[in-house]
A and B are shown apart, each in its own frame.
Chain A
Amino acid sequence: MLAVGVALIPLAYLATRAGEAGWDRMADELFTARTGELVVRSVALATVVTAACTALGVTLAFLVTRSDLPGRRLLGVLAALPLAVPSYVAAFAWVSTLQGDAGVGSFAGFWAAALVLTLVSYPYVYLPVAAALVGSDPAQEEVARSLGRGPWRTAVGVTLRQVRPAVAAGALLVALYVLSDFGAVSILRVDVFTRAIFTAISLGFDRTGALVLSTVLVALTALVLLAEQFSRRRAARYARLGGGAARPPGRVRLGRLRWPAVLGVAGVLGAALGVPAVSLLRWFGEGVSRPGSLGELADAAANSLGVALLGTGLTMMLALPVGLLSARAPGLLAMALDRLAYLSHALPGLVIGLSLVFFGINVAYPLYQSVWLLALAYAALFLPLAVAAVSAAVAQAPPGLEEVARSLGRRRAHVLRTVTVPLAAPGIGAGAALVFLTCMKELPATLLLRPTGMDTLATGLWTRTSVAAYAAAAPYAALLVLIAAVPTWWLSARTGVLTRTGG
């Protein structure tokens, strides 16, 4: 309940402000041709990126887990790393790279944003699908093969169908992420909702207008959630047939496609990781703006780690009960709680930040501009990531085990501690890692809510890029990406693409 309360802060805030605006003002703001355009463009961007991420993420996951792709282990781990690159860094890298090399300066607009967003967010699909492919039961595939289906047709018809829940979960996160992203769309100048919201505040000093626009974003999110719910209902849960030890599934031979496939994967990684890396190196080299003291950098890194850890801890604490409930008592209530946690997920960080300013000032004044309120903002922003991870992990732990444990005379709480949580621990850890690295990258809410005088890597990066001091900004960006890469590396390693002895 508490968790959902946190997720509801932004919605309550929106409702309050929209209520103040009144219906007429809202109608004025909403029923315009521009709003219509924004809806179309936002939905189109989310659709294109989600489709591209799904295709890319599933293909990559399949290649590294189920084919004889050369170098698949290394590629498999690298493929998750773009998650560590903040979208604003990636967008900036692309713009500066293309401008520097070709002098075009026209890398902007819808398709540019779609490209950059796809490159930074496909790991949301890649990671769960790779994990599901490694863990899925080969029995069904074997049956399909024995019925005369070729390996490729089996892959498409059976294997991919098995991992559909993982695909749907990842695609949902991508769609919501795209709706809420500001970094890439602002740098690449795509007029979508988040940008309109920022523009309303930045140029018109028009909070109300911005918040009214935000309500549309919430409505869009609700639609996305409904669509996902619908696809979830139709998707069969994948089940392991029979008992026996889990055995590794077979691999598809790529044959003549081997090297083209490697080149393709390397191309994706080059675009997603290489471009930002080269661009950062160039920032280091160019310009004479002082790189700033190591002490400041270390302080910022320590602060980033601190608030991200605190935010992760709080988020996971709030997510555990909701995740448990939705995995163990999947009823209307659990579903409602679960969906509510998602509802504010597509709101841009700025709106979440403002809502927590509102909350801090009016409800929790002693916490205002303390790291606690910032952690609470992270919880409000990233609760769905954590809830999804927890409920998936708990769903993997069979409820029968809990019943047995209780029949042996152990209370619920004891069973939770000794059976459920240990079994779900790897999944919960994965959720925590994801939340952690997302907290590290977060900028707008951090700017609004951090304690006065505190710098994190993200705010330090912002401070320096906003005055075009790229050489000074580069160490912040590099350190941010490097620290975020650690949990990302771990996340992809635990999908089993490294060890290949999952089970």
Chain B
Amino acid sequence: MSTPGVRSLSASTLSGLLILGVTGCGTADARQGDGSDKKITVYSGRSESLVKPVLEDFQEASGITVEVRYGDTAQMAAQLQEEGGRSPADAFLAQDAGALGAVAERGLFARLPDEVLDKAAAAYRDDGGEWVGVTGRVRTMVYNVDQVPRADLPGSVFELTEPKWKGKVGIAPTNGSFQAFVTAMRVEYGDARTEEFLTGLKANDAQIREGNAPIVADVDAGRLASGLVNHYYVYELAKEEGTGVDDLEARNHFFPNGDIGSLVNVSGVGVLEKAGDDPDVRAFVDYLLGTGAQTYFAEQTYEYPLVAGIATAPGLPSLSSLNSPDIDLNDLDDLETTVEMINDSGLV
């Protein structure tokens, strides 16, 4: 990221603090723009390495300068809530639907035009039209091919509380994706069944990890037989190790028949109220849902494109074939009870 802001700021830190401050104020003042000023500010809860190439392509193609602020999705949602109507942000690119829902709930997003919303399937956008999905990610079970015979793979995530999986399942209970999955389970099956599942996992000696990546790494290294993660982590591991995804010991297993274990969640984008009519912001959203960006996500981050007609990464089943459970993603913004239940189960 080599925006003018970064360059001038570093130069000035070397030349003196006073100028540094002036530059700082300069960036602060420059954000009061409206109409087409060829400049937009994006808050990105998605990590820099994933979205930076897309944003650079967009800048090049449109001539619109993108000021990006990277951060943790949830903390950025909190920041947007705190900033309210005076936020410098024009658009919020979030890692998951829950964060978008939380911002939308405060009435901070502008309603997106129908032609934008219609690009994504109904399941992957806000019913009120305040945000739209950009990419999809699927919960999967990652397993070590040497330790788990294909025939033993479960048909449902609920089977993981059975004795034969004792001590063999890794989970990341503090991770947002896991939380979203548990929330979805509550929506679909009710709190009692979910609680039973969580305590069952605990009783079955589920292996706790800090995040998805460590689970996949441990499964690949044979330290763990299996784990519940998002589908793209095996691809990232393959990339980091410089091998093909089929050369890993770790493989994805998608729960069949619309099982809640293979919930589809989305990353998405919302436009802040004040930028609702900004053509530059609209161009940005259109770009994210356009062929170029969607192809990039499919090929480089191994996520599911949510716009029709774009091919998924090799080896992934199609979204429609997953027959994923019918959950309103907006319902996933109430994670409070989920967190409480996970805490109560003793998994944390």
Interface residues of A (CB under 8 A from B): 34, 95, 103, 105, 108, 186-187, 189, 191, 199-207, 209-210, 287-289, 295-296, 298-299, 302-303, 305-307, 309-310, 313, 350, 354, 357-358, 361, 365-372, 444, 447-448, 451-455, 459, 463-464, 466-469
On whether the beta carbons of B70 and A463 are closer than 8 Å, the reply is: yes
Residues of B within 8 A of A310 (CB): 17, 20-21
Q: Looking across the interface, which residue of chain A has its beta carbon closest to that of B17? A: A310
Q: Are B75 and A452 in contact (CB under 8 A)?
A: no
Q: Write the nearest CB–CB distance from B241 to chain A, whole angstroms.
A: 7
Q: Are A371 and B21 in contact (CB under 8 A)?
A: yes
CA distance A451 to B10 in the complex (A): 12
User: What are the residues of chain A within 8 A of B23 when measuring CB–CB?
Assistant: 371
Q: Of A203, A306, A309, A358, which one neighbours B82 at CB under 8 angstroms?
A: A358
Q: Is the CB of B5 within 8 A of A365?
A: no
Inter-chain contact A447/B21, CB cutoff 8 Å: no
* Interface 0/1 of B1-36, CB less than 8 Å to A: 111011101101110010011011101110000000
15 A-B pairs with C-beta separation under 8 A: A95-B210, A202-B176, A205-B102, A207-B81, A296-B2, A299-B10, A303-B6, A361-B83, A367-B28, A368-B28, A369-B28, A370-B24, A451-B9, A466-B47, A468-B240
User: Could you say which of A205, A307, A309, A444 contacts B98, with CB atoms under 8 Å apart?
Assistant: A205
Distance A369 CA – B179 CA, assembled complex (angstroms):
31
Cα–Cα, bound, A200→B78 (Å): 10
B79 with A187: CB separation less than 8 A: no
Q: Tell me the B59-84 residues at the A interface (CB within 8 Å).
A: 67-72, 74-75, 77-79, 81-84
Interface flag for B335 (CB, 8 Å): yes
Residue from the list B25, B69, B81, B213 in contact with A372, Cβ < 8 A: B25
How far, in angstroms, from A307 to B20 measured CA to CA in the complex? 9
User: Which 4 A-B residue pairs are closest in the complex by CB-CB distance?
Assistant: A306-B13, A370-B24, A205-B102, A202-B74
Write the chain B residue with the least CB distance to A360: B83
B79: chain A residues at CB < 8 Å are 354, 357, 448
Nearest-neighbor residue (CB-CB) of A95 within chain B: B210
The answer to whether A309 touches B17 (Cβ under 8 A) is yes
Known: A207-B82, A367-B28. A468 touches B9 (CB 8 A): no
Judging by beta carbons under 8 Å apart, are B5 and A452 in contact?
A: yes
Q: Would you give the shortest CB distance from B113 to chain A, in whole angstroms?
A: 26
Within the assembled complex, what's the spacing in Å between the Cα atoms of A454 and B2?
A: 9
A366 contacts which of B1, B13, B25 (Cβ < 8 Å)?
A: B25
Indicate the member of B14, B25, B72, B241 with the most A CB atoms within 10 Å: B72
Contact of B20 among A105, A287, A306, A350 (CB under 8 A): A306
Q: Which residues of chain B from 290 to 348 have any CB-CB distance to chain A below 8 Å in the complex?
A: 333, 335-336, 338-340, 343, 348
Asked if B241 and A455 make an inter-chain contact with CB atoms under 8 angstroms apart, the answer reads no
A103 to B222, CA, bound (A): 10
Task: For B343, give the chain A residue with the smallest CB separation.
Answer: A34
Does B119 touch A at the CB level, under 8 Å? no
Distance in angstroms from A324 CB to nearest chain B CB is 24
Shortest C-beta distance, B226 to chain A (Å), equals 15
Inter-chain contact A447/B71, CB cutoff 8 Å: yes
B82 touches A467 (CB 8 A): no
| Distance of A496 Cα from B3 Cα, bound (Å) | 46
Instruction: Give Cα distance in the complex from A83 to B110, angstroms.
Output: 46
A287–B241 touching, CB < 8 Å: yes
Whether B77 lies near A205 (C-beta < 8 A) is: yes
**B10 with A366: CB separation less than 8 A:** no
Alpha-carbon distance between A203 and B25 when the two chains are bound, in angstroms: 33
The reply to whether A201 and B74 form a contact with Cβ atoms under 8 Å apart is yes
Given the interface pairs A299-B6, A451-B9, A467-B47, the reply to whether A361 lies near B86 with Cβ below 8 Å is yes
B205 to chain A, nearest CB (A): 12
Quick one: which of B5, B50, B208, B333 contacts A451, CB cutoff 8 A?
Answer: B5
The answer to whether B82 and A357 have CB atoms under 8 Å apart is: yes
Name the interface residues of B93-121: CB closer than 8 Å to any CB of A.
98-99, 101-102
Complex Cα gap A39–B339 (Å): 18
Q: Is the CB of B28 within 8 A of A453?
A: no
CB distance A201 to B78 under 8 Å? yes
Inter-chain contacts of B69 with A (CB < 8 A): 369, 452-453
Complex alpha-carbon distance, A302 and B213, angstroms: 31
Q: What residues of chain A lie closer than 8 Å to B336, measured between beta carbons? A: 200, 204, 206, 209
CB B216 to nearest CB in A, in angstroms, measures 9
- Contacts A201-B75, A369-B88: A463 and B49 contacting too (C-beta < 8 A)? yes
Whether the Cβ atoms of A451 and B24 lie closer than 8 Å is yes
Q: Tell me the complex Cα distance, A264–B48, Å.
A: 43
Residues of A within 8 A of B70 (CB): 459, 463
Closest to B216 in A: A468
Knowing A34-B343, A448-B75, say if A189 contacts B208 (CB, 8 Å): yes
Q: Which of B27, B72, B101 contacts A452 (CB 8 A)?
A: B27
A354-B79 Cα distance, complex, nearest whole Å: 7
Tell me which residues across on chain A come within 8 A of B128, comparing CB atoms. none
Say whether B348 contacts A189, CB under 8 Å. Answer: yes
How many Å lie between the Cα of A489 and that of B331 in the bound state? 53
**Inter-subunit contact A204/B78 (CB<8 Å):** no
Q: Which residues of B contact A365 (CB under 8 A)?
A: 86
A404 to chain B, nearest CB (A): 36
CB-CB under 8 A from B28, the residues of chain A are: 366-370, 451
Residue of A with least CB distance to B101: A205
Q: Does B204 contact A (CB under 8 A)?
A: no
B174 near A189 with CB under 8 A, answer: yes
B127 to chain A, nearest CB (A): 18
Give the CA-CA distance A344 to B69 in the complex, in Å. 27
Q: Kindly list chain B residues whose C-beta atoms are within 8 Å of the C-beta of A303.
A: 6, 9-10, 13
A56 CA to B1 CA, complexed, in Å = 44
Q: Is the CB of A372 within 8 A of B3?
A: no
Distance between Cα atoms of A103 and B69 in the complex (Å)? 37
Interface presence of B236 (CB below 8 A): yes
Question: Which of B77, B81, B176, B240 has the most C-beta atoms of chain A within 10 angstroms of its own C-beta?
Answer: B240
Chain B 37-60, CB-CB to A under 8 Å as 1, else 0, gives 000010000011110000000000
CB atoms of B14 and A468 under 8 A apart: no
Q: List the B residue with the shortest CB-CB distance to A286.
A: B240
Nearest-neighbor residue (CB-CB) of B85 within chain A: A361
Among A105, A288, A289, A469, the residue within 8 A (CB) of B218 is A105
Whole-angstrom distance between the Cβ of B343 and the nearest chain A Cβ: 7
For B3, what are the chain A residues with a Cβ–Cβ distance below 8 Å?
Answer: 453
Residue of B nearest to A208 (CB): B81
Closest A residue, CB atoms, query B334: A204
Complex Cα spacing A446 to B95, Å: 20
Chain A residue nearest to B48 in the complex (CB): A463
- Shortest CB-to-CB span from A109 to chain B, Å, is 10
